Structure 1
Amino acid sequence: MTRDEICTRFIDAVPYQLYPYQEEALLAWFGGEGGGVMVCAPTGMGKTLIAEAALFEALHSRTRLYYTTPLIALTEQKYREFRELAERWGFSRDDVGFITGNRRENPSALVRVVVAEILLNHLLGQDAGPMEPQPARGTAALGCVGEGPVSERSCAEDKTGQRPARHTPSGVAPTQFLDDLGAVVMDEFHNFNDPERGVVWELSLVLLARDVRVMLLSATVGNPYDFADWLKNKHGRKLTVVVSNQRRVPLEYVWVGDRLFTELLPAMASDSDAENRTPALAFCFNRDECWELAERLKGLPLVSSARQKQIEAALDQYRSDLAEGAGPKLRQMLLRGVGVHHAGVLPRHKEIVETLFNAKLVPFVVCTETLAAGINLPAARSCCGRC
Protein backbone atom coordinates (compact mmCIF):
# COMPACT_ATOMS: atom_id res chain seq x y z
CA MET A 1 0.00 0.00 0.00
CA THR A 2 1.44 3.37 -1.04
CA ARG A 3 1.51 6.41 1.22
CA ASP A 4 -1.12 8.08 -0.97
CA GLU A 5 -3.40 5.08 -0.51
CA ILE A 6 -2.83 5.12 3.26
CA CYS A 7 -3.65 8.84 3.34
CA THR A 8 -6.86 8.33 1.35
CA ARG A 9 -7.94 5.43 3.54
CA PHE A 10 -7.30 7.45 6.71
CA ILE A 11 -9.22 10.52 5.52
CA ASP A 12 -12.12 8.31 4.40
CA ALA A 13 -12.27 6.84 7.91
CA VAL A 14 -12.63 10.26 9.57
CA PRO A 15 -16.36 10.62 10.38
CA TYR A 16 -16.49 14.43 10.18
CA GLN A 17 -15.40 17.37 8.05
CA LEU A 18 -11.74 18.24 8.40
CA TYR A 19 -10.59 21.76 9.19
CA PRO A 20 -8.59 23.36 6.35
CA TYR A 21 -5.38 23.31 8.40
CA GLN A 22 -5.87 19.59 9.11
CA GLU A 23 -6.12 18.86 5.40
CA GLU A 24 -3.00 20.94 4.78
CA ALA A 25 -1.08 19.13 7.53
CA LEU A 26 -2.14 15.67 6.34
CA LEU A 27 -1.15 16.44 2.77
CA ALA A 28 2.19 17.77 4.00
CA TRP A 29 2.77 14.64 6.10
CA PHE A 30 1.87 12.09 3.43
CA GLY A 31 2.96 14.01 0.34
CA GLY A 32 5.80 16.24 1.50
CA GLU A 33 9.38 15.55 0.46
CA GLY A 34 10.97 17.13 3.53
CA GLY A 35 11.80 15.80 6.96
CA GLY A 36 8.34 16.25 8.44
CA VAL A 37 5.76 18.76 9.52
CA MET A 38 5.32 21.25 12.35
CA VAL A 39 1.70 21.99 13.29
CA CYS A 40 0.72 24.94 15.46
CA ALA A 41 -2.97 25.38 16.26
CA PRO A 42 -5.00 26.38 19.34
CA THR A 43 -6.04 23.82 21.92
CA GLY A 44 -9.18 21.93 20.94
CA MET A 45 -8.66 22.26 17.19
CA GLY A 46 -7.84 18.62 16.51
CA LYS A 47 -4.06 18.34 16.37
CA THR A 48 -4.39 14.82 17.77
CA LEU A 49 -6.12 13.76 14.55
CA ILE A 50 -2.93 14.53 12.63
CA ALA A 51 -0.91 12.45 15.09
CA GLU A 52 -3.40 9.62 14.61
CA ALA A 53 -2.59 9.72 10.90
CA ALA A 54 1.05 8.95 11.75
CA LEU A 55 -0.15 6.05 13.92
CA PHE A 56 -2.41 4.82 11.10
CA GLU A 57 0.50 4.88 8.66
CA ALA A 58 2.88 3.10 11.04
CA LEU A 59 0.39 0.27 11.61
CA HIS A 60 -0.29 -0.20 7.90
CA SER A 61 3.34 0.11 6.75
CA ARG A 62 4.69 -1.82 9.78
CA THR A 63 7.39 0.80 10.38
CA ARG A 64 8.32 1.85 13.88
CA LEU A 65 6.84 5.00 15.42
CA TYR A 66 7.74 6.85 18.60
CA TYR A 67 5.13 9.18 20.11
CA THR A 68 6.65 11.40 22.81
CA THR A 69 5.00 13.58 25.44
CA PRO A 70 6.45 15.65 28.31
CA LEU A 71 4.32 14.07 31.07
CA ILE A 72 3.73 10.56 32.36
CA ALA A 73 -0.01 11.26 32.76
CA LEU A 74 -0.31 12.37 29.13
CA THR A 75 1.75 9.38 28.00
CA GLU A 76 -0.61 7.03 29.83
CA GLN A 77 -3.66 8.66 28.28
CA LYS A 78 -2.28 8.49 24.73
CA TYR A 79 -1.27 4.87 25.29
CA ARG A 80 -4.84 3.92 26.17
CA GLU A 81 -6.28 5.91 23.28
CA PHE A 82 -3.88 4.47 20.70
CA ARG A 83 -4.49 0.89 21.80
CA GLU A 84 -8.21 1.43 21.27
CA LEU A 85 -7.58 3.03 17.87
CA ALA A 86 -5.35 0.15 16.79
CA GLU A 87 -8.07 -2.34 17.66
CA ARG A 88 -10.72 -0.25 15.92
CA TRP A 89 -8.60 -0.20 12.75
CA GLY A 90 -8.24 -3.98 12.78
CA PHE A 91 -4.80 -4.29 14.38
CA SER A 92 -3.72 -5.80 17.66
CA ARG A 93 -3.74 -3.68 20.81
CA ASP A 94 -0.28 -5.12 21.45
CA ASP A 95 1.06 -3.17 18.47
CA VAL A 96 1.18 -0.20 20.88
CA GLY A 97 3.60 -0.09 23.81
CA PHE A 98 4.25 2.25 26.70
CA ILE A 99 7.54 3.29 28.32
CA THR A 100 8.24 5.80 31.10
CA GLY A 101 11.03 6.04 33.63
CA ASN A 102 9.27 3.81 36.15
CA ARG A 103 6.90 1.62 34.13
CA ARG A 104 6.75 -0.11 30.78
CA GLU A 105 4.17 -2.20 29.03
CA ASN A 106 4.92 -4.10 25.84
CA PRO A 107 8.13 -2.08 25.26
CA SER A 108 9.05 -3.95 22.06
CA ALA A 109 5.82 -2.90 20.31
CA LEU A 110 5.79 -1.39 16.83
CA VAL A 111 4.43 1.91 18.22
CA ARG A 112 6.00 3.21 21.44
CA VAL A 113 4.25 5.92 23.45
CA VAL A 114 6.96 7.35 25.67
CA VAL A 115 8.00 10.35 27.72
CA ALA A 116 10.48 12.50 25.81
CA GLU A 117 13.53 11.40 27.78
CA ILE A 118 12.97 7.77 26.79
CA LEU A 119 13.43 8.52 23.10
CA LEU A 120 16.65 10.40 23.84
CA ASN A 121 17.93 7.52 25.98
CA HIS A 122 17.25 5.09 23.15
CA LEU A 123 19.03 7.33 20.67
CA LEU A 124 22.00 7.57 23.00
CA GLY A 125 22.05 3.81 23.47
CA GLN A 126 21.49 3.98 27.23
CA ASP A 127 18.63 1.51 27.47
CA ALA A 128 19.24 -2.14 28.25
CA GLY A 129 19.93 -4.30 25.27
CA PRO A 130 22.68 -5.55 22.96
CA MET A 131 24.84 -2.76 21.56
CA GLU A 132 26.08 -2.61 18.00
CA PRO A 133 29.41 -1.04 17.07
CA GLN A 134 27.87 0.97 14.22
CA PRO A 135 24.91 3.37 14.11
CA ALA A 136 21.57 1.65 13.76
CA ARG A 137 18.98 2.95 11.36
CA GLY A 138 17.08 5.79 12.97
CA THR A 139 20.11 7.48 14.53
CA ALA A 140 22.69 9.99 13.42
CA ALA A 141 26.00 11.10 14.84
CA LEU A 142 25.70 13.84 17.44
CA GLY A 143 27.66 17.03 16.81
CA CYS A 144 27.91 20.26 18.77
CA VAL A 145 24.71 21.95 19.81
CA GLY A 146 25.90 25.48 20.37
CA GLU A 147 24.02 27.40 17.71
CA GLY A 148 20.37 27.79 18.53
CA PRO A 149 18.03 27.86 21.53
CA VAL A 150 20.40 25.78 23.66
CA SER A 151 23.68 27.62 24.22
CA GLU A 152 25.70 24.91 25.96
CA ARG A 153 28.10 22.89 23.85
CA SER A 154 27.11 19.26 23.80
CA CYS A 155 30.37 17.83 22.50
CA ALA A 156 33.68 17.27 24.20
CA GLU A 157 37.07 18.25 22.82
CA ASP A 158 40.52 16.88 23.57
CA LYS A 159 43.50 19.04 24.47
CA THR A 160 44.27 19.76 20.81
CA GLY A 161 40.81 21.23 20.33
CA GLN A 162 39.69 18.25 18.24
CA ARG A 163 36.82 15.99 19.05
CA PRO A 164 37.93 12.58 20.31
CA ALA A 165 36.89 9.48 18.42
CA ARG A 166 33.99 8.87 20.86
CA HIS A 167 33.24 12.44 21.84
CA THR A 168 29.61 11.51 22.55
CA PRO A 169 27.53 8.39 22.03
CA SER A 170 27.99 8.18 18.28
CA GLY A 171 24.46 7.28 17.37
CA VAL A 172 24.83 3.79 18.80
CA ALA A 173 21.51 2.39 19.86
CA PRO A 174 19.98 -0.92 20.90
CA THR A 175 18.81 -2.49 17.66
CA GLN A 176 15.61 -3.81 19.19
CA PHE A 177 14.50 -0.27 19.95
CA LEU A 178 15.35 1.64 16.77
CA ASP A 179 15.21 -0.89 13.94
CA ASP A 180 12.87 0.23 11.17
CA LEU A 181 12.25 3.61 12.80
CA GLY A 182 10.14 5.54 10.33
CA ALA A 183 8.70 8.50 12.21
CA VAL A 184 8.61 10.35 15.52
CA VAL A 185 5.71 12.45 16.80
CA MET A 186 6.60 15.02 19.47
CA ASP A 187 3.47 16.25 21.23
CA GLU A 188 3.52 19.48 23.28
CA PHE A 189 6.67 20.44 21.42
CA HIS A 190 6.85 23.92 22.99
CA ASN A 191 8.70 22.19 25.83
CA PHE A 192 11.71 22.58 23.53
CA ASN A 193 11.92 26.06 25.07
CA ASP A 194 12.03 24.79 28.65
CA PRO A 195 15.24 26.05 30.32
CA GLU A 196 15.91 22.71 32.00
CA ARG A 197 14.32 20.01 29.84
CA GLY A 198 14.42 21.66 26.41
CA VAL A 199 17.73 20.05 25.56
CA VAL A 200 15.94 16.68 25.50
CA TRP A 201 13.91 17.71 22.45
CA GLU A 202 16.84 19.43 20.76
CA LEU A 203 19.24 16.52 21.11
CA SER A 204 16.56 14.09 19.94
CA LEU A 205 16.08 16.10 16.75
CA VAL A 206 19.84 16.26 16.21
CA LEU A 207 20.34 12.53 16.75
CA LEU A 208 17.51 11.32 14.53
CA ALA A 209 18.59 10.25 11.07
CA ARG A 210 17.47 12.48 8.20
CA ASP A 211 15.26 9.76 6.72
CA VAL A 212 13.18 9.60 9.91
CA ARG A 213 10.24 11.95 9.52
CA VAL A 214 9.16 14.07 12.49
CA MET A 215 5.82 15.58 13.42
CA LEU A 216 5.95 18.45 15.93
CA LEU A 217 2.67 19.48 17.57
CA SER A 218 2.02 22.50 19.78
CA ALA A 219 -0.52 25.20 20.55
CA THR A 220 1.93 27.75 21.91
CA VAL A 221 5.06 27.98 19.75
CA GLY A 222 5.32 31.70 19.02
CA ASN A 223 7.87 31.61 16.20
CA PRO A 224 7.37 28.37 14.23
CA TYR A 225 8.83 29.74 10.99
CA ASP A 226 11.99 30.95 12.74
CA PHE A 227 12.36 27.55 14.37
CA ALA A 228 11.92 25.73 11.05
CA ASP A 229 14.57 27.97 9.44
CA TRP A 230 16.98 27.27 12.32
CA LEU A 231 16.42 23.51 12.09
CA LYS A 232 17.00 23.55 8.33
CA ASN A 233 20.07 25.79 8.37
CA LYS A 234 21.83 24.29 11.38
CA HIS A 235 20.81 20.64 11.23
CA GLY A 236 19.69 20.04 7.66
CA ARG A 237 16.13 18.98 8.48
CA LYS A 238 13.41 20.63 6.42
CA LEU A 239 9.96 20.96 7.95
CA THR A 240 6.67 22.05 6.43
CA VAL A 241 5.06 24.54 8.82
CA VAL A 242 1.27 24.54 9.16
CA VAL A 243 -0.24 27.27 11.34
CA SER A 244 -3.87 27.97 12.23
CA ASN A 245 -5.21 30.74 14.46
CA GLN A 246 -8.79 29.55 14.21
CA ARG A 247 -10.38 28.59 17.53
CA ARG A 248 -13.55 26.49 17.41
CA VAL A 249 -14.78 27.70 20.81
CA PRO A 250 -13.87 31.33 21.62
CA LEU A 251 -12.31 31.95 25.02
CA GLU A 252 -14.19 34.08 27.53
CA TYR A 253 -12.58 35.48 30.67
CA VAL A 254 -14.70 36.19 33.76
CA TRP A 255 -13.44 37.86 36.93
CA VAL A 256 -15.26 36.44 39.95
CA GLY A 257 -13.85 38.79 42.58
CA ASP A 258 -13.39 37.42 46.07
CA ARG A 259 -15.72 34.44 45.72
CA LEU A 260 -14.31 31.18 47.05
CA PHE A 261 -14.36 27.93 45.07
CA THR A 262 -16.91 26.57 47.53
CA GLU A 263 -19.22 29.44 46.57
CA LEU A 264 -18.46 29.59 42.86
CA LEU A 265 -18.56 25.94 41.80
CA PRO A 266 -21.99 24.96 43.20
CA ALA A 267 -23.48 27.95 41.37
CA MET A 268 -22.03 26.66 38.09
CA ALA A 269 -23.77 23.25 38.31
CA SER A 270 -27.36 23.09 37.08
CA ASP A 271 -29.71 20.52 35.59
CA SER A 272 -30.74 23.14 33.04
CA ASP A 273 -28.59 23.08 29.89
CA ALA A 274 -29.05 26.83 29.51
CA GLU A 275 -27.67 27.56 32.98
CA ASN A 276 -25.17 24.74 33.39
CA ARG A 277 -21.49 25.78 33.31
CA THR A 278 -19.97 22.35 33.75
CA PRO A 279 -17.94 20.20 33.24
CA ALA A 280 -15.30 22.39 34.85
CA LEU A 281 -11.73 22.15 36.08
CA ALA A 282 -10.67 23.79 39.34
CA PHE A 283 -6.92 24.42 39.46
CA CYS A 284 -5.03 24.44 42.76
CA PHE A 285 -1.40 25.24 43.45
CA ASN A 286 -0.41 21.89 44.97
CA ARG A 287 -1.63 18.37 45.71
CA ASP A 288 -2.64 19.04 49.32
CA GLU A 289 -4.89 21.91 48.22
CA CYS A 290 -6.55 19.59 45.70
CA TRP A 291 -7.56 17.11 48.40
CA GLU A 292 -8.60 19.88 50.81
CA LEU A 293 -10.85 21.55 48.23
CA ALA A 294 -12.35 18.23 47.14
CA GLU A 295 -13.17 17.43 50.78
CA ARG A 296 -15.04 20.73 51.14
CA LEU A 297 -16.87 20.33 47.85
CA LYS A 298 -18.10 16.79 48.43
CA GLY A 299 -20.52 18.02 51.09
CA LEU A 300 -22.14 20.55 48.75
CA PRO A 301 -25.07 19.93 46.38
CA LEU A 302 -23.17 19.45 43.12
CA VAL A 303 -25.14 16.58 41.56
CA SER A 304 -28.73 15.38 41.74
CA SER A 305 -29.73 12.07 43.28
CA ALA A 306 -30.41 10.70 39.79
CA ARG A 307 -26.89 11.65 38.68
CA GLN A 308 -25.46 10.03 41.81
CA LYS A 309 -27.09 6.75 40.85
CA GLN A 310 -25.54 7.00 37.39
CA ILE A 311 -22.10 7.63 38.89
CA GLU A 312 -22.53 4.72 41.30
CA ALA A 313 -23.47 2.41 38.45
CA ALA A 314 -20.41 3.53 36.47
CA LEU A 315 -18.14 2.97 39.50
CA ASP A 316 -19.30 -0.62 39.98
CA GLN A 317 -16.82 -1.85 37.37
CA TYR A 318 -13.97 -0.21 39.29
CA ARG A 319 -14.67 -1.67 42.75
CA SER A 320 -11.36 -3.51 42.98
CA ASP A 321 -9.38 -0.50 41.73
CA LEU A 322 -10.93 1.76 44.37
CA ALA A 323 -10.65 -0.69 47.25
CA GLU A 324 -7.21 0.31 48.55
CA GLY A 325 -5.07 3.38 49.25
CA ALA A 326 -6.82 6.62 48.33
CA GLY A 327 -9.44 4.66 46.38
CA PRO A 328 -12.23 4.64 49.01
CA LYS A 329 -11.83 8.37 49.64
CA LEU A 330 -11.78 9.13 45.92
CA ARG A 331 -14.88 7.00 45.39
CA GLN A 332 -16.85 9.02 47.93
CA MET A 333 -15.78 12.24 46.23
CA LEU A 334 -16.73 10.97 42.79
CA LEU A 335 -20.18 9.94 44.04
CA ARG A 336 -20.68 13.57 45.09
CA GLY A 337 -19.52 14.98 41.77
CA VAL A 338 -15.84 15.75 42.46
CA GLY A 339 -12.71 14.12 41.07
CA VAL A 340 -9.06 14.72 41.95
CA HIS A 341 -6.26 14.64 39.38
CA HIS A 342 -2.56 15.33 40.00
CA ALA A 343 0.80 13.60 39.69
CA GLY A 344 0.37 11.87 43.06
CA VAL A 345 -2.84 10.08 42.07
CA LEU A 346 -2.34 6.49 40.93
CA PRO A 347 -2.65 5.98 37.15
CA ARG A 348 -5.66 3.67 37.47
CA HIS A 349 -7.42 6.25 39.69
CA LYS A 350 -6.66 9.06 37.23
CA GLU A 351 -8.10 6.94 34.43
CA ILE A 352 -11.36 6.54 36.38
CA VAL A 353 -11.57 10.29 36.99
CA GLU A 354 -10.91 11.02 33.30
CA THR A 355 -13.51 8.48 32.17
CA LEU A 356 -16.30 9.85 34.38
CA PHE A 357 -15.43 13.46 33.56
CA ASN A 358 -15.40 12.82 29.81
CA ALA A 359 -18.74 11.04 30.16
CA LYS A 360 -20.07 14.23 31.85
CA LEU A 361 -21.10 12.28 34.92
CA VAL A 362 -18.72 14.08 37.29
CA PRO A 363 -19.06 17.86 36.84
CA PHE A 364 -15.85 18.95 38.59
CA VAL A 365 -12.22 17.84 38.66
CA VAL A 366 -9.85 19.50 41.14
CA CYS A 367 -6.36 19.42 39.66
CA THR A 368 -2.88 20.88 39.48
CA GLU A 369 -1.31 22.56 36.46
CA THR A 370 0.01 19.25 35.08
CA LEU A 371 -3.47 18.52 33.76
CA ALA A 372 -3.21 21.61 31.53
CA ALA A 373 -0.15 20.23 29.72
CA GLY A 374 -2.06 18.45 26.98
CA ILE A 375 -4.21 15.89 28.79
CA ASN A 376 -7.50 15.53 26.94
CA LEU A 377 -10.24 16.55 29.38
CA PRO A 378 -12.62 18.85 27.49
CA ALA A 379 -14.17 21.35 29.90
CA ALA A 380 -16.64 24.18 29.55
CA ARG A 381 -14.92 26.20 32.29
CA SER A 382 -11.49 26.37 33.92
CA CYS A 383 -11.33 28.07 37.32
CA CYS A 384 -8.12 29.39 38.84
CA GLY A 385 -7.69 30.92 42.27
CA ARG A 386 -7.16 30.31 45.94
CA CYS A 387 -9.13 27.64 47.74
Structure 2
Amino acid sequence: MILVFQWPFEPDIFQKQAILHLENKDSVFVAAHTSAGKTVIAEYAIALSLKHMTKTIYTSPIKALSNQKFRDFKQTFTDVGLVTGDVQLNQTASCLIMTTEILRSMLYNGSDIIRDLEWVVFDEVHYINDSEVSSHFYFISFKNEIERGVVWEEVLIMLPQHCNVILLSATVPNTMEFANWVG
Protein backbone atom coordinates (compact mmCIF):
# COMPACT_ATOMS: atom_id res chain seq x y z
CA MET A 1 0.00 0.00 0.00
CA ILE A 2 1.27 3.47 -0.89
CA LEU A 3 0.63 5.89 1.96
CA VAL A 4 -0.69 9.39 1.29
CA PHE A 5 1.40 10.73 4.17
CA GLN A 6 4.89 9.90 5.38
CA TRP A 7 6.44 10.47 8.80
CA PRO A 8 10.13 10.62 9.70
CA PHE A 9 9.60 7.36 11.63
CA GLU A 10 8.08 3.94 11.08
CA PRO A 11 4.47 3.89 12.32
CA ASP A 12 3.69 1.52 15.17
CA ILE A 13 1.49 -1.55 14.62
CA PHE A 14 -1.67 0.09 16.03
CA GLN A 15 -1.07 3.12 13.79
CA LYS A 16 -0.66 0.91 10.72
CA GLN A 17 -3.86 -0.96 11.58
CA ALA A 18 -5.78 2.30 11.99
CA ILE A 19 -4.36 3.67 8.71
CA LEU A 20 -5.49 0.51 6.90
CA HIS A 21 -9.00 1.05 8.24
CA LEU A 22 -8.93 4.72 7.18
CA GLU A 23 -7.90 3.64 3.68
CA ASN A 24 -10.97 1.36 3.68
CA LYS A 25 -13.13 4.33 4.74
CA ASP A 26 -13.86 2.81 8.15
CA SER A 27 -14.38 4.74 11.35
CA VAL A 28 -11.78 4.00 14.05
CA PHE A 29 -11.46 4.22 17.81
CA VAL A 30 -7.89 4.49 19.10
CA ALA A 31 -7.33 4.08 22.82
CA ALA A 32 -3.63 4.36 23.59
CA HIS A 33 -1.61 5.89 26.38
CA THR A 34 -0.50 9.52 26.32
CA SER A 35 2.31 10.17 23.81
CA ALA A 36 1.72 6.85 22.04
CA GLY A 37 1.13 8.62 18.73
CA LYS A 38 -2.64 8.85 18.34
CA THR A 39 -2.26 12.11 16.39
CA VAL A 40 -0.66 10.08 13.56
CA ILE A 41 -4.12 8.72 12.77
CA ALA A 42 -5.59 12.23 12.60
CA GLU A 43 -2.73 13.37 10.35
CA TYR A 44 -3.41 10.50 7.99
CA ALA A 45 -7.10 11.37 7.81
CA ILE A 46 -6.20 14.97 7.00
CA ALA A 47 -3.86 13.78 4.23
CA LEU A 48 -6.62 11.53 2.85
CA SER A 49 -9.09 14.39 2.78
CA LEU A 50 -6.55 16.53 0.92
CA LYS A 51 -6.12 13.73 -1.62
CA HIS A 52 -9.90 13.28 -1.96
CA MET A 53 -10.54 17.04 -2.00
CA THR A 54 -12.86 16.73 0.99
CA LYS A 55 -12.71 18.07 4.55
CA THR A 56 -11.59 16.88 7.95
CA ILE A 57 -12.83 18.49 11.15
CA TYR A 58 -10.66 17.97 14.20
CA THR A 59 -12.57 18.59 17.42
CA SER A 60 -11.30 18.98 20.93
CA PRO A 61 -13.21 19.44 24.18
CA ILE A 62 -11.62 22.80 25.04
CA LYS A 63 -10.56 25.90 23.09
CA ALA A 64 -6.98 25.86 24.40
CA LEU A 65 -6.43 22.41 22.90
CA SER A 66 -8.01 23.57 19.62
CA ASN A 67 -5.54 26.46 19.47
CA GLN A 68 -2.63 24.10 20.17
CA LYS A 69 -3.71 21.61 17.49
CA PHE A 70 -4.13 24.46 14.99
CA ARG A 71 -0.51 25.49 15.57
CA ASP A 72 0.69 21.87 15.37
CA PHE A 73 -1.20 20.99 12.18
CA LYS A 74 -0.31 24.31 10.55
CA GLN A 75 3.35 23.23 10.71
CA THR A 76 2.53 20.03 8.83
CA PHE A 77 -0.28 21.03 6.44
CA THR A 78 -0.80 24.29 4.58
CA ASP A 79 -4.61 24.21 4.38
CA VAL A 80 -5.65 24.42 8.05
CA GLY A 81 -8.29 26.65 9.64
CA LEU A 82 -9.46 27.43 13.15
CA VAL A 83 -13.04 28.16 14.19
CA THR A 84 -13.75 29.13 17.78
CA GLY A 85 -16.30 31.41 19.37
CA ASP A 86 -14.03 34.42 18.95
CA VAL A 87 -11.59 33.44 16.15
CA GLN A 88 -12.26 32.35 12.58
CA LEU A 89 -9.13 31.67 10.52
CA ASN A 90 -9.30 30.17 7.03
CA GLN A 91 -12.85 28.79 7.41
CA THR A 92 -12.71 27.23 3.93
CA ALA A 93 -9.66 25.08 4.75
CA SER A 94 -9.60 21.34 4.11
CA CYS A 95 -8.80 20.79 7.78
CA LEU A 96 -10.76 22.77 10.34
CA ILE A 97 -9.91 22.71 14.03
CA MET A 98 -12.72 23.53 16.47
CA THR A 99 -14.38 22.57 19.71
CA THR A 100 -17.14 19.99 19.62
CA GLU A 101 -19.63 22.69 20.60
CA ILE A 102 -18.79 24.69 17.46
CA LEU A 103 -19.30 21.59 15.30
CA ARG A 104 -22.66 20.98 16.96
CA SER A 105 -23.73 24.54 16.12
CA MET A 106 -22.67 24.02 12.51
CA LEU A 107 -24.71 20.82 12.31
CA TYR A 108 -27.78 22.52 13.81
CA ASN A 109 -27.42 25.44 11.39
CA GLY A 110 -26.96 23.22 8.31
CA SER A 111 -23.51 24.61 7.50
CA ASP A 112 -22.21 24.01 3.97
CA ILE A 113 -18.99 22.69 5.49
CA ILE A 114 -20.76 19.46 6.35
CA ARG A 115 -21.48 18.66 2.70
CA ASP A 116 -17.83 17.90 1.83
CA LEU A 117 -16.94 16.40 5.20
CA GLU A 118 -15.13 13.05 5.08
CA TRP A 119 -13.66 12.73 8.59
CA VAL A 120 -14.42 14.06 12.06
CA VAL A 121 -11.72 13.49 14.65
CA PHE A 122 -12.87 13.53 18.27
CA ASP A 123 -9.78 14.07 20.41
CA GLU A 124 -10.02 13.28 24.13
CA VAL A 125 -13.23 11.34 23.45
CA HIS A 126 -13.42 10.24 27.09
CA TYR A 127 -15.09 13.62 27.68
CA ILE A 128 -18.27 12.09 26.26
CA ASN A 129 -18.80 10.93 29.86
CA ASP A 130 -22.15 10.16 31.23
CA SER A 131 -25.29 12.06 30.18
CA GLU A 132 -28.62 10.32 30.02
CA VAL A 133 -27.92 8.36 26.84
CA SER A 134 -24.66 6.82 28.03
CA SER A 135 -25.33 6.73 31.76
CA HIS A 136 -23.87 3.23 32.08
CA PHE A 137 -20.39 4.66 31.40
CA TYR A 138 -18.35 6.25 34.12
CA PHE A 139 -15.34 8.37 33.28
CA ILE A 140 -13.15 10.82 35.18
CA SER A 141 -15.20 13.83 36.30
CA PHE A 142 -14.37 17.29 34.98
CA LYS A 143 -16.28 20.52 35.42
CA ASN A 144 -19.13 20.71 32.88
CA GLU A 145 -18.31 17.22 31.60
CA ILE A 146 -21.92 16.07 31.65
CA GLU A 147 -22.91 18.94 29.36
CA ARG A 148 -19.96 18.15 27.07
CA GLY A 149 -21.04 14.51 26.90
CA VAL A 150 -24.45 15.51 25.61
CA VAL A 151 -22.82 17.75 22.98
CA TRP A 152 -20.59 14.92 21.75
CA GLU A 153 -23.52 12.50 21.59
CA GLU A 154 -25.60 15.00 19.61
CA VAL A 155 -22.75 15.51 17.14
CA LEU A 156 -22.33 11.76 16.65
CA ILE A 157 -26.05 11.39 16.02
CA MET A 158 -26.32 14.38 13.64
CA LEU A 159 -23.27 13.69 11.47
CA PRO A 160 -24.19 12.74 7.91
CA GLN A 161 -23.90 9.06 7.04
CA HIS A 162 -21.12 9.69 4.50
CA CYS A 163 -18.86 11.00 7.28
CA ASN A 164 -16.50 8.73 9.20
CA VAL A 165 -15.33 9.33 12.75
CA ILE A 166 -12.00 8.91 14.46
CA LEU A 167 -12.18 8.66 18.23
CA LEU A 168 -8.96 9.25 20.18
CA SER A 169 -8.43 8.79 23.91
CA ALA A 170 -5.83 7.79 26.45
CA THR A 171 -8.22 7.32 29.36
CA VAL A 172 -11.25 5.27 28.31
CA PRO A 173 -11.20 2.41 30.84
CA ASN A 174 -13.78 0.17 29.16
CA THR A 175 -12.73 0.39 25.51
CA MET A 176 -14.71 -2.53 24.10
CA GLU A 177 -17.96 -1.52 25.78
CA PHE A 178 -17.46 2.07 24.65
CA ALA A 179 -16.64 1.05 21.06
CA ASN A 180 -19.72 -1.20 20.91
CA TRP A 181 -21.93 1.59 22.24
CA VAL A 182 -20.65 4.10 19.68
CA GLY A 183 -20.95 1.51 16.89
Give the shorter-chain TM-score range. 0.7 to 0.9
The separation in 2 between residues aligned to 1:179 and 1:211, in whole angstroms, is: 9
Q: Does 1:38 align with 2:26?
A: no
What amino acid maps onto 2:99 in structure 1? V
CA deviation vs aligned residue, 1:169-219 (integer Å, no higher than 9, x gap): xxxx022x2221111011111110032211111100000122211000000
What SS does structure 2 have at the residue aligned with 1:9? coil
Q: Which residue is equivalent to 2:12?
A: 19
Shift of 1:17: 2.2
- Quote the offset at 1:228 in angstroms: 2.1
Asked which structure has the greater CA Rg, the reply is 1
Q: Does 1:181 align with 2:174?
A: no
Alignment counterpart, residue 181 of structure 2, candidates 214, 230, 237 = 230
Supply the AA of the counterpart residue of 2:155: S
Look up the match of 2:98: 114
Match of 1:208 among 126, 151, 159: 159
CA distance in 2, matches of 1:191, 1:231: 14
Letter in 2 for 1:189: V
2:28 touches 2:166 (CA, 8 Å); kept in 1? yes
Contact 2:31 2:175 in 1 (8 A): yes
Report 1:81-120 matches (<5 A). 81-86=72-77, 93=78, 95-120=79-104
Structure 2: unaligned runs, 5 residues or longer: 130-144
**Higher strand share goes to which structure?**
2
Matched, 1:28 2:21: yes
Give per-residue Cα distances to partners, 1:237-280, cap 9 Å, x unaligned: xxxxxxxxxxxxxxxxxxxxxxxxxxxxxxxxxxxxxxxxxxxx
| 1:277-298 deviation line (CA, Å, top 9, x unaligned) | xxxxxxxxxxxxxxxxxxxxxx
How many angstroms apart in 1 are the aligned matches of 2:104 and 2:169?
Answer: 19
RMSD between aligned residues: 1.5
Structure 1 unmatched ranges of 5 or more? 87-92, 126-172, 233-387
Corresponding residue for 1:51?
A: 42
User: Which letter maps to 2:21?
Assistant: A
SS at match of 2:4: helix
Cα offset, 1:81, TM superposition: 1.6
Q: TM-score, normalised by structure 1?
A: 0.42
Q: Which has the higher contact order (CA 8 A, sep 6+)?
A: 2
Instruction: Answer whether contact 2:61 2:148 (CA < 8 A) is retained.
Output: no
- 1:50 partner SS: helix
Query: Aligned partners of 2:19 and 2:13: how far apart in 1?
Result: 10
Q: How does 1:1-387 map to 2 (within 5 A)?
A: 5=2, 8-10=3-5, 13-31=6-24, 34=26, 36-86=27-77, 93=78, 95-125=79-109, 173-175=110-112, 177-193=113-129, 194-232=145-183
Q: State the AA in 1 paired with 2:23.
A: F
Question: Quick one: distance in 2 between partners of 1:9 and 1:183?
Answer: 15
Question: In the TM superposition, what whole-angstrom CA distance separates every residue of 1:310-360 from its partner, at most 9, and x where no partner exists?
Answer: xxxxxxxxxxxxxxxxxxxxxxxxxxxxxxxxxxxxxxxxxxxxxxxxxxx
- Give the Cα–Cα distance (whole angstroms) in 2 for the partners of residues 82 and 115 of structure 1: 15
Provide Cα deviations, 1:141-163, integer angstroms capped at 9, x if missing partner: xxxxxxxxxxxxxxxxxxxxxxx
